[in-house]
Amino acid sequence: MRAGADAVLASGLAAGRVAVLGLPVEPELEAELRAVVDELGGRVIVRSSSQLERDGVWAGAFSSVAGVGCDDVANAVRSCWASAFAPDPLGRLDACELDLEALELGVLVQPEIALVAGGVAHVTAGGGVSVAGVRGHPGALLSGWAEGARDADLADLIGSQTVADVAGLARRVYATLGDDVIEWGACDGKVWLLQSQRGTGRPAAAPATQPPERSTRVPAQPAAPGTAAGPLLPCRPHQAVDCRGAILLVDRPLPALAPLLFGARGVISRATAAGSHLAEVARGLGVPMVTGCRTETVTGPDPAPGAWHAVIDGATGEVLLSPATG
C-alpha cells in the first residue's frame, strides 16, 4: 500500500495499481496463505475490507476475488491491494477530501459458500424490510450488471420462506448493530450475513426548480429517497464531466460512476439493478436515485447534455422530463 501511494504521488493516478501489482508477495506470506486455503477447504474468497466502508459512499469501491485456490491466493491478495488505486476509489478519495493515507486496506480470506441466491435488504424507516436479490451469487447484482427482483417478485423466484428469513436477519442485525443495510446469501436452506452497514445517508437534496408545465411522466423504480430537479446529463464511468447541479443519466448503476455522484443532484439509471452498490452510494450522499427508467422513450437514445430537464422522486420512483427552455 505504501508503494502504491508513493507511485501515485510521484507519477500520477495511473501508477498506483502498476506499482502494487509489480511487487511480489513475500515467500513466507505466500506459504502461510497457501496453508490457510488448504485449511479452509481448498477454495476461498479473498475480500477487500476497509474502515472507509462504514460510510455508504464507499460501497463497492474495492475488489474481491472469488473461486481462489492455493495457486491463486497470493495474486488474489495482491489484486485486492491494487484495487485501492483504481480510478473509482481514488476519485471518491478526492471527493471526500481525504489523503492517500486513508486508503488503509485489509484483506480477508474466507471459505467460499456456493450460494443459490443472494442480494441486499434494507430496514425502512417504518420498521419494514425491503429485500432484493438474484439466483446464484449476488456479485452481478451489486455491481449493477444484473436486474434482480424485489420483495414479492423475489419470493416467486427463490421462495417466500427465504425472503422471510432474510427480512428476519435484517431486523436482527438492525437491533444488534444499528446497521440498516445487509448483504445476504442463501445456501443449503440457510441465510448467511455477508456484511452490513448503516445506509442512512445525509439529508436528501431538494428540487432546485419547479417542474416545467410541459412535462412527460416516465415510469421508474425508487432506489434512493429524496427529490431533485435539474438538467439531464448523460454520462459514463470515468468520464470527465462537470456534473454539479445535474441529474445524471446512466445506462447501468456501475460502481465506477460513484465519484460523479458527489456533485450531482440526482441519478436516473436506465437499467433496474435493484440493490446495486451505486444506490448505496447515492443513499450515503443523500442523492435521490431511480432505476429502470427508459428515458429514451421521451428523449431519444442519445439526448444532448442539458437538452432536457428532469425532476425525480427517489422515494416513489416518479420521473418528469421536459425539453429545456434555455
Average pLDDT over residues 15-37: 95
* Cα gap 153→239, rounded to integer Å: 35
Q: Domain holding 127: CATH number? A: 3.30.470.20
Cβ-contact 56, 199 below 8 angstroms = yes
Residues 228 and 294 in one domain: yes
Cβ-contact 292, 300 below 8 angstroms = no
Cβ-contact 170, 121 below 8 angstroms = yes
Asked whether residue 246 is assigned to any structural domain, the reply reads yes
Residues 9 and 74 in one domain: yes
- According to the model, what pLDDT value does residue 253 have? 94
Residues 126 and 146 in one domain: yes
* Cα gap 172→178, rounded to integer Å: 9
Assign 273 a pLDDT band (cuts: 50, 70, 90): confident
Asked whether residue 258 is assigned to any structural domain, the reply reads yes
Cβ-contact 206, 309 below 8 angstroms = no
- Number of structural domains (the chain) is 3
Residues 125 and 192 in one domain: yes
Which residues neighbour 181 within 8 Å (Cβ) at sequence distance 6 or greater? 56, 120, 121, 122, 123, 196, 197, 198, 199, 280
Which residue segment(s) compose the domain that 310 sits in? 216-323
Residues 86 and 177 in one domain: no
* Cα gap 115→185, rounded to integer Å: 6
Residue that wins the pLDDT comparison between 212 and 45: 45
Asked whether residue 191 is assigned to any structural domain, the reply reads yes
Assign 197 a pLDDT band (cuts: 50, 70, 90): confident
What angle separates helix 27-39 from helix 73-83, to the nearest 10 degrees?
Answer: 110
- Using the predicted structure, report yes or no on whether residue 147 has a pLDDT greater than 90: no
Q: Domain holding 266: CATH number? A: 3.50.30.10
Asked whether residue 203 is assigned to any structural domain, the reply reads no
User: Bridge partners of 266?
Assistant: 247
Question: Which amino acid would we find at residue 250?
Answer: V
Sign of CA dihedral 300, 303, 309, 313: positive
Assign 89 a pLDDT band (cuts: 50, 70, 90): very high
Residues 130 and 192 in one domain: yes
Asked whether residue 211 is assigned to any structural domain, the reply reads no
* Cα gap 289→291, rounded to integer Å: 7
Average pLDDT over residues 210-229: 85
Instruction: Report if pTM > 0.85.
Output: no
Residues 85 and 150 in one domain: no
Mean pLDDT of the chain: 91
DSSP symbol at 52? G
C-alpha cell of 260?
A: 460523479
Asked whether residue 15 is assigned to any structural domain, the reply reads yes
- Using the predicted structure, report yes or no on whether residue 56 has a pLDDT greater than 90: no
Average pLDDT over residues 9-37: 95
Cβ-contact 284, 199 below 8 angstroms = yes
Which one of 111, 139, 163 terminates a domain? 111
Q: Domain holding 78: CATH number? A: 3.30.1490.20
End-to-end, the C-alpha distance of the chain in Å comes to 48
Asked whether residue 202 is assigned to any structural domain, the reply reads no
- Grid coordinates 498506483 are at which residue? 16
Which one of 82, 111, 140 terminates a domain? 111
Cβ-contact 111, 124 below 8 angstroms = no
- Using the predicted structure, report yes or no on whether residue 206 has a pLDDT greater than 90: no
* Cα gap 23→31, rounded to integer Å: 16
- Using the predicted structure, report yes or no on whether residue 214 has a pLDDT greater than 80: no
Residues 80 and 123 in one domain: no
Residue length of the chain: 326
- Using the predicted structure, report yes or no on whether residue 207 has a pLDDT greater than 80: no
Residues 171 and 235 in one domain: no
- Using the predicted structure, report yes or no on whether residue 203 has a pLDDT greater than 80: no
DSSP 259-295: HHHTT-SEEEESS--TT-HHHHHHHHHT--EEES--T
Residue that wins the pLDDT comparison between 210 and 166: 166
Residues 19 and 100 in one domain: yes
Residues 184 and 263 in one domain: no
Average pLDDT over residues 40-49: 94
Which one of 137, 165, 197 terminates a domain? 197
Asked whether residue 245 is assigned to any structural domain, the reply reads yes
Residues 59 and 149 in one domain: no
User: Bridge partners of 320?
Assistant: 217, 311
Segment 279-294, tens digit of pLDDT: 989 988 999 999 999 9
Cβ-contact 18, 7 below 8 angstroms = yes
